[in-house]
Amino acid sequence: MTASIAIIGFGSITQTLLSALGESDDIRVSNIVVRPERIGTTGYRWRDACFVASIDELAPDVELVVEAAGQPALVQHAEKVVTSGRRLALVSSGALADDSFRTKVSSAATRNGSEVHVISGAIGALDALSTARAAGVQTVRYTGIKPTAAWRGTPAEDCVDLDKITEAVTFFTGSARDVAQRYPKNANVAATIALAGSGFDETRVSLVADPAVIHNCHIVESEGVLGAFRFETTAAPLSSNPRTSGSTVFSIVSFLRDRTNAIRLA
């Protein structure tokens, strides 16, 4: 059965995602939600997808909306998506660090028979974190190490001279709640880890700028009653966006393909 979906955003993730989906028989992208000023802009085309500026304009058969546009876009569109009864899959999970926004979206989804899926994105080990959470308290630490280019235009520039550093510098330590809000284009993974593991305030985060690396490195360490684990991934960034790990795109592909399988990993 062909599923009709919409995607919010037409940036690096979406454009790589559309190429990866190719001529997929089982997924049809009916709409792409862009900013109003982008409607009709030359170059904004994708097969027979119709570019729209609001959730109200989605094709009636769209049953799932994938957000890949950033935290402000998620805040703008999430409630409308779930209120329309459609399922929402998102990657800008840092927006959920705002308790009132998270509660509002969650209540609207429940009221309207919808669901919200936080896609794993650039991170892994979410299954192990939620298993540990089910068994009791765990300590969780996340370390994000990225090349200096990934930190340009962020508050990291107030802490470190990205042009001059010659070795790795840890420029932020704090909670997942703080980091998700201060680094909205780089630290959604910390929010996703917090949701799976020990919450926004208990998850400890360090961010590192390293002039010697070309990949994004994400490390999750957990200790609890079940024991301990450490997860580390070294991910190539997208050529179109040094902040975004390519694995984010394929976590969406995997989510879209797996959801129609009769046998699914929990």
Ligand X SMILES: O=C([O-])CC(=O)C(=O)O
Q: Which residues belong to the active site?
A: 218
The Cα-based distances of 166 to 205, 209, 234 in angstroms read 22, 10, 20
User: Residue 167: enclosing H or E segment and its boundaries?
Assistant: none
Binding span for ligand NAI by CB under 6 A among 10-18, 104-112, 150-158, 202-210: 10-18
Map the footprint of ligand NAI across residues 183-202, applying CB under 6 A. 184-185, 188-189, 192
Q: Which two tokens stand for residue 36?
A: 């109003």
Q: Are 169 and 145 in contact (CB under 8 A)?
A: no
Count helices and strands in the chain by DSSP H and E runs: 7, 13
Smallest separation (angstroms) from ligand X to the CB of 165: 19
Nearer to ligand NAI, 10 or 200 (CB): 10
- Residue 9, contacted partner among ligand NAI, ligand X, none, CB below 5-8 A by kind: ligand NAI
Smallest separation (angstroms) from ligand X to the CB of 127: 18
Provide the pairing of β-strand 138-146 with 116-118: unpaired
- Residue 175, contacted partner among ligand X, ligand NAI, none, CB below 5-8 A by kind: none
Determine the Cα–Cα distance for residues 66 and 168; give it in Å rounded to an integer. Answer: 35
241 is in an annotated binding site: no
The Cα-based distances of 127 to 93, 98, 123, 190 in angstroms read 17, 23, 11, 15
Nearer to ligand NAI, 34 or 125 (CB): 34
Q: Are 7 and 64 in contact (CB under 8 A)?
A: no
10 secondary structure, DSSP code: -
- Nearest residue to ligand NAI, scored by beta-carbon proximity: 11
Q: Are 140 and 117 in contact (CB under 8 A)?
A: no
Nearer to ligand NAI, 65 or 169 (CB): 65
69 secondary structure, DSSP code: S
Helix axes 188-196, 126-135, angle to 10 degrees: 40
Map the footprint of ligand NAI across residues 128-167, applying CB under 6 A. none
Nearer to ligand X, 148 or 245 (CB): 245
Residue 73 contacts ligand NAI per CB under 6 A: yes
Map the footprint of ligand NAI across residues 33-72, applying CB under 6 A. 33-35, 68-72
- Residue 187, contacted partner among ligand X, ligand NAI, none, CB below 5-8 A by kind: ligand X
53 is in an annotated binding site: no
Residue 8 contacts ligand NAI per CB under 6 A: yes
Smallest separation (angstroms) from ligand X to the CB of 237: 7
Q: Are 217 and 145 in contact (CB under 8 A)?
A: yes
Binding residues for NAD(+): 122, 188
Binding residues: 122, 188
